[in-house]
Amino acid sequence: MMGLGWQELAIILVIVIVIFGAGKLPEIGSGLGKGIRGFKEESGIGDDKKSSDAIDQGRSQTASTITDTRTAVEERVDREKGTRADEI
């Protein structure tokens, strides 16, 4: 795939300025940034804090999720056993 060089980026910037005007560029940049940030939050790409916390604790994000799910399932099974023991 071809990368964009500085000449291509300069041409694109000039075209954007001509089409939208210099006054609209901050609004366009802000909207683009919010869109990218929203996409990262929804897709889980930008979970740097969760990832770094898991790394600091010596486990991956997946291992953390599996452990949390396993604990929840074990608690539910224990509750179910208690409920059934009371019924008998």
Number of domains in the chain: 1
What's the whole-number average pLDDT of the chain?
A: 76
pTM of the model: 0.39
Cα gap 40→30, rounded to integer Å: 15
Residue type, 69: T
The arithmetic mean of pLDDT across residues 51-75, rounded, is 67
Residue 32 in domain: no
The arithmetic mean of pLDDT across residues 55-82, rounded, is 72
Q: What angle do CA 36, 9, 27 make, to 5 degrees?
A: 45
Residue 10 has pLDDT above 50, yes or no: yes
Residue-number span of the structural domain to which 61 is assigned: 48-88
Residue 86 has pLDDT above 70, yes or no: no
Residue 34 in domain: no
Q: What is the pLDDT of residue 46?
A: 53
Q: How far apart are the first and last CA of the chain?
A: 68
Q: What is the pLDDT of residue 1?
A: 45
